[in-house]
Amino acid sequence: MTVSREVLTEIFDRLKEELSVELELDEKIRLLCKEVVRYSKLSILNRHKGELEKARINLREAEARLNTLRNLISSYPGVIWTESYKTACQEYVEAYLYICCMDGEKPRLPRDLDVSPSIYLLGLADLVGELRRCILEYLRVGNPTSAEEYFNVMKWIYEELLLVEAPPALSGKLRHKIDIARRIVETTESELLFELSKRKLIDTLSKFIG
């Protein structure tokens, strides 16, 4: 005797109900991921502009939405492996590390931020690009000393990334980011050396003329 149509209908009805709940939850998660990314990017932009309080506020907004995401994940564990969730965490880590770096704060470790070491590492790799923007701004306003200080931080991060033995699932993505970081470091170093040499020449000429 085969399964009755009534039984199959009951199964399908139950599946439709549960899938409807999952679809609704999935939509909430995707929107929250987008908001985490948006507030993280705004935080970095604010800090570049010197808007310190706005940067902190937007970073807290990103963190609040990330915490809401984690609460949803507890009832929908599969989402933790989705790219949208990973991207949201990575963008938050990058913004958090940038704010810490610019404000001279000691960053918390991955476990303290409730993110994986892999996500934290990718956020660190992306930090190199934001530090370049900071260095160029210092050079623009005639502050090569601070530019050199942040360049040393950038270069150290890059050199440490080279020594990391990443798991296979991460190695390809990390290698790509390291290649980008290398080009950024090399280009920034050339620009910094040029500006430092120019300033040294100007100082020498000023002393000679004076």
Q: pLDDT tens digits, residue range 9-20?
A: 887 778 787 777
From 58, 77, 111, the end of a domain falls on 111
Q: How many CB atoms lie within 10 A of CB 44?
A: 23
Rounded to whole angstroms, the Cα distance separating 110 from 120 reads: 6
What six digits make up the tokens of 107?
Answer: 């960053």
Cβ-Cβ contacts under 8 Å for 199 (sequence gap 6 or more): 144
Q: 100 falls in which pLDDT band (50, 70, 90)?
A: very high
The angle that helices 52-73 and 83-103 make with each other, rounded to 10 degrees, is 150
Do 71 and 143 reside in the same domain of the chain? no
| Same domain, residue pair 97 and 192 | no
Question: CA 124, CA 109: separation in Å to the nearest integer?
Answer: 12
Instruction: Name the average pLDDT for the chain.
Output: 88
109: left (phi over 0), alpha (psi -120 to 50) or beta: beta
- Residue 151 pLDDT > 80, yes or no? yes
Q: At which of 111, 129, 160 does a domain end?
A: 111
The CATH number assigned to the domain holding 74 equals 1.20.58.2140
User: How many Cα atoms occupy the beta-carbon half-sphere of 172 within 13 Å?
Assistant: 2
pLDDT at 77: 63
Residue 28 has pLDDT above 70, yes or no: yes
Q: Which long-range contacts (CB under 8 A, 24 or more apart) does 98-102 make?
A: 98/43, 98/44, 98/47, 98/127, 98/130, 98/131, 99/43, 99/44, 99/47, 99/55, 99/56, 99/59, 101/127, 101/131, 101/150, 101/153, 102/47, 102/134
The residue-averaged pLDDT of 115-123 equals 92
How many Cβ atoms sit within 10 Å of the Cβ of residue 166?
Answer: 17
What residues make up the domain containing 72?
1-111
**pLDDT (0 to 100) of residue 161:** 92
CB 115 within 8 A of CB 168: no
- Which amino acid is it at 141? V
pLDDT of residue 44: 96
Domains: count for the chain = 2
Give residue 123's pLDDT.
94
Which of 79, 111, 143 is the C-terminal boundary of a domain? 111
